[in-house]
Amino acid sequence: MFKINSIKIALIIFTSVVFMSCQSKKQKDIGAIQIDSTAVLLLTKEAIKKIGSIKISKDIKVGGYFQFMDSVVEKYDTLVPYALSEHLLVRNNPWIIDTLANTDYYRMMARDSFVYDQKQMIVLPKDSELILPDSITACRILEEFATTEIDVNIPEYKLRIFQDSVLLETFPVRVGQYRERYLKFGDRVTDLRTKTGEGTIVRHAKHPDFYNPVNGKRFYVTRRDDGKTTMMPQIPWIETEINNIRNGQMIHPTTNPKTLGKAYSNGCIGLGEGDAWRVYYYAPLGTKLKIRYDLETYDEGMVISVLRDVYHLSDNQ
């Protein structure tokens, strides 16, 4: 009896250490606290194995994807010794990101498959499985989130993902136009240029509604670059806070990739549909963000190109 109780006490102590280590990364300043991974023992790894994989009992479509994932997180969060989240679970099952990215209208058209309503596409097939991360893996992924930064260079029309200053991904984007325009949203003349500065990701709009910012009218369909009309896809929009100000500047998908590489938007940063899914899963709440306006690009300390001054900022110098 004493031996059994000792084992139980040890399990409680070790799982508590893991829980506190991983849970601390959920604080706003997630980069300020270091994880002592040596305190994490394989005992918790074996405990999670007993839960087994999560088998999906029916086909899950894009339209019900977030509701399903929220239900999984709610159910299993109390059974694991760390703070389970959608981002953490999906990063441990990267095939989900690939599947979501492949719902991109233009990728489907390249396969001769026209999709009118992306929300009806199956992304989690029946009998597929989700694997819960063990404690060591969970802490590693949380540490990766803590050291991730999204970097946007406006005149370069590029969004980059860095982790510990190592470049992981580069995506083409569109940015705000070089002009002012009256927008019904805000009811004023607005500078449409994308704002520069540093900040964080503060909100995810997983079920976005679509309004024309110029006239305020809601819309449900979009005309594609090939002239075809489809329903608007369900892809998360990412809200930013720059220089401690939330000015409505979002990172979101565009249904017209011909506009990428241009100053075309009303201030938001636009991505291709597939790329928007990938950026979303690099960007849990609190992720660091930098939006800059650098005309010179460097390689090994040398200027390799000078970009066009799309906002004519050099004219004011």
Catalytic annotation, residues: 252, 268
Element (H, E) at 200: strand 197-205
184: how many CB neighbours lie within 10 A of its CB? 13
CA 178 to mean position of chain CA atoms: 27
* Three-state DSSP class for residue 139: helix
Nearest-angstrom CA–CA distance, 154 and 249: 13
Token pair listed for 223 = 């005309």
Identify which of 120, 62, 103, 68 has the alpha carbon closest to the alpha carbon of residue 89: 68
| Residue 158: strand pairing partners | 153, 172
Dihedral sign (CA 109, 113, 115, 119): negative
Element (H, E) at 21: helix 2-23
Nearest-angstrom CA–CA distance, 156 and 168: 17
Element (H, E) at 305: strand 302-306
DSSP H helices, the chain, are 2-23, 42-51, 62-76, 86-91, 95-101, 105-110, 135-146, 273-280
216: how many CB neighbours lie within 10 A of its CB? 12
Nearest-angstrom CA–CA distance, 130 and 73: 11
Task: Give me the amino acid identity at 132.
Answer: L
